[in-house]
Structures are given as structure tokens and as C-alpha cells.
């Protein structure tokens, strides 16, 4: 089984199929993942419609982060768990999206956080001296309730946002949810003033934790996630959207040693048909810590980010 890669047109063989919704554990028709042999872009095929993606977020008890409620499981916090997490924290040299923004944008800059969820990041940007506003399609999100976000989505941007009016766009863990991330990225670029920047961050599909946990990986999150990026395929997307990469970064390491992540992956594992996923155990977590500590950033961190600017990409930048 194979299908053409939406980003580069090369052959994308079938990689694996997640048979259940990672949060409701009900069967899903959108769990077959294909991965491009050339650019490493992973994607769910066939694609859901926009109306169907809205249904994926209808979760019992409104358990979604846009509403300030976490779906993550909780685990115990014994001595060894705390030690493991502390060691992982000491080894975490990843840059945060917030620090990357601080280093690139002067105070007072205008920022739109598209898919802002609960709006906590918008509040943090405003507190740092930026003029930030969110965009969120979930009317029940805390951000919409508190007035820190406009109604809209990456596919349908709010009319209040004029073309050429913004210094920066943020896509924080959003592009992996979109049916057409290239068009969404390009459309958002039109909101920027000359010299404006896009900050995007997504789960890193070539991380050690992604490979080790497979279908139970907490960030696979089928069917809410339908695109799976690597540094290389994210750069490819930026080039296709008519932008060039200014800098890249990797982040998020120690959190996947937390009991919350381990318990969440165990819960998914336990609901999968026997033999489909490997168990994320506390013992495995120690081995993972040792391996990840020595790995390259592209393998160590569970998220990858880029700062991009509209304008033609040089081939050198996305052929990396």
C-alpha cells in the first residue's frame, strides 16, 4: 500500500494504522499513516473532511486543553520517578517557543496565535509586552470566553485581522491538526507586515520517543493529529508555502519522562489490540533516558520548531 506524498509527490508507503481514537478509544477510520520515503512527511490517508475533524474534538467531559482541562493520565511520584524526571530536566537544553520569540521580536510587536487553545500563551505574550491576540475555533475555549481570542481557524481567519497588519504569527502545535497545512501557512503569511515572522512548532516524528512508543505515543494523538512532521518535512512545508526558514530549534525533552506521559501512554497501550504497541514502562523510561541523553537534538527532543519569513526559499534550505 502506498500513496503520493502531499508535500513532494514522492512515494509514501503505509507505515502503521492506529485502530482507535487515542482519547476516546472508540474505533476510528482515520488512523492509517503513510510516510514519504523522500521528505519523511507522515500523514493520515484517507483524509477526513473539515466537518469530520470537528467531531474528533467532541470529547466526554469536554476534556481538551482549549478548555483548560488536561486529558493526560496521572501516575505515582515515588523517589525513583522523581529522580528520573530531575535527571531528564537537568539534561533538557531545548529552547522554548517563548524564548525563541523573545529573542526574535522586540517588545510591542503584534502577534497572532492561531489555534491558541486556552489562550495561556497569548496571556504570557501580553505580559511580556507584546500586543497578542489568539484565534480559536472552539467557542467554549477559555480564550474565547475571556476575550483573548477571535473566532476563527487556520482555514478561516477572522475578518478582523487585516492583511499586512501583523509582526508575527504563531502556530504552536497546530499544523499537525490541519487538513491542508501548506495553504493555512501561506494564508497566514498574508497577515504579516513586510519583515514579519512565522513561529511554528510541531511534534517531532523522528524523536526516539516517537519510535519507541509507536501507536501509543502520547503525541501521535490520532485522529486529532493527521500530519506528522520531522525537521526536514517541516522545512519542506515552509518552502511550499512560499516562505524561507530563518532558524530552527528543538524542544521538549524532560516531560516525556513524567509519570503523566508514561501513564497516558500505558492507558493507550492497554486499549489497543494485543501486540500492536510496546508498553511504556518505568524500566524502559530509564533506558530511554540513557539513550536520549547521548542522541542528536533531532532524535532527543519530542518537538521541532522553525522561525520563517515569507519569501522564496533557497533550495539549500529545504533539501537539508
Interface mask (CB under 5 A) for Zn ion, residues 56-75, using x and -? --------------------
Q: Which of 18, 39, 101, 306 binds Zn ion (CB under 5 A)?
A: 39
Residue 285 phi, psi (nearest 5): -65, -35
Q: How far is the CB of 242 from Zn ion (least distance, A)?
A: 18
* Smaller CB separation from Zn ion, 32 or 168: 32
Q: Does 8 bind Zn ion (CB under 5 A)?
A: yes
Nearer residue to Zn ion within complex by CB, 138 or 206: 206
Site track 77-116 with Zn ion (rule: CB under 5 A), x = hit: ----------------------------------------
Q: Interface residues for Zn ion in 18-37 (CB under 5 A)? A: 36
Q: Where are the alpha helices (DSSP H) in the chain?
A: 50-56, 79-90, 97-104, 120-127, 142-146, 181-189, 208-213, 231-240, 259-271, 282-293, 297-300, 315-318
* Grid cell of 187 as nine digits: 494564508
Does 208 help bind Zn ion (rule: CB under 5 A)?
Answer: no
Please spell the DSSP secondary structure of 98-119, one letter per residue. HHHHHHHS-TT-EEEEET-TTS
**Least CB distance from residue 183 to Zn ion, whole Å?**
17
Q: Shortest distance, CB of residue 102 to Zn ion, whole angstroms? A: 33
The Cα–Cα gap between 258 and 98 comes to 21
Tell me how far CA of residue 276 lies from CA of 22, 215, 246, 272, 279, in angstroms: 13, 7, 40, 6, 10
Binding region for Zn ion (CB under 5 A) out of 10-18, 58-66, 123-131, 176-184: 10-18
- Count CB neighbours of 262 within 10 A: 24
Q: How many residues line the site for Zn ion (CB under 5 A)? A: 8
Q: At a CB cut-off of 8 Å and minimum separation 6, what does 131 contact?
A: 108, 109, 110, 111
Shortest distance (Å) from residue 10 CB to Zn ion: 5
Min dist CB 1 to Zn ion, Å, is 16
Distance in Å, CB of 313 to Zn ion, minimum: 15
Question: Which positions lie near Zn ion, rule CB under 5 A?
Answer: 5, 7-8, 10, 36, 38-39, 41
Amino acid at each position: 500500500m502506498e500513496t503520493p506524498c502531499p508535500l513532494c509527490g514522492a512515494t509514501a508507503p503505509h507505515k502503521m494504522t492506529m485502530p482507535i481514537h487515542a482519547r476516546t478509544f472508540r474505533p476510528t477510520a482515520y488512523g492509517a499513516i503513510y510516510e514519504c520515503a523522500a521528505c519523511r512527511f507522515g500523514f493520515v490517508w484517507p483524509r477526513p473532511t473539515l466537518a469530520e475533524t470537528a467531531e474528533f474534538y467532541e470529547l466526554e467531559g469536554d476534556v481538551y486543553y482549549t478548555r483548560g482541562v488536561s486529558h493526560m493520565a496521572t501516575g505515582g511520584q515515588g523517589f525513583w520517578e522523581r529522580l528520573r524526571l530531575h535527571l531528564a530536566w537537568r539534561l533538557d537544553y531545548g529552547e522554548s517557543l517563548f524564548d525563541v520569540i523573545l529573542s526574535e521580536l522586540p517588545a510591542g510587536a503584534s502577534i497572532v496565535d492561531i489555534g491558541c487553545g486556552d489562550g495561556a500563551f497569548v496571556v504570557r505574550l501580553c505580559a511580556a509586552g507584546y500586543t497578542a491576540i489568539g484565534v480559536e475555533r472552539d467557542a467554549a475555549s477559555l480564550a474565547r470566553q475571556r476575550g483573548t481570542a477571535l473566532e476563527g481557524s487556520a482555514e478561516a481567519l477572522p475578518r478582523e485581522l487585516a492583511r499586512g497588519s501583523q509582526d508575527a504569527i504563531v502556530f504552536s502545535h497546530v499544523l499537525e491538526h490541519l487538513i491542508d497545512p501548506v495553504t493555512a501557512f501561506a494564508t497566514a503569511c498574508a497577515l504579516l507586515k513586510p519583515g514579519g515572522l512565522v513561529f511554528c512548532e510541531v511534534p517531532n516524528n523522528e524523536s526516539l520517543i516517537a519510535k519507541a512508543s509507536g501507536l501509543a505515543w502520547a503525541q501521535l494523538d490520532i485522529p486529532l493529529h493527521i500530519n506528522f512532521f520531522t525537521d526536514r518535512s517541516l522545512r519542506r512545508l515552509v518552502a511550499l508555502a512560499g516562505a524561507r526558514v530563518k532558524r530552527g530549534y528543538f524542544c521538549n525533552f524532560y516531560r516525556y519522562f513524567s509519570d503523566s506521559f508514561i501513564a497516558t501512554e500505558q492507558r493507550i497501550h492497554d486499549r489497543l489490540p494485543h501486540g500492536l504497541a510496546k508498553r511504556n514502562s518505568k524500566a524502559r523510561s530509564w533506558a530511554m533516558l540513557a539513550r536520549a541523553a547521548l542522541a542528536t537534538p533531532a532524535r532527543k527532543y519530542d518537538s521541532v520548531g522553525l522561525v520563517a519569513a515569507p519569501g522564496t526559499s533557497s533550495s539549500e534550505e529545504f533539501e537539508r
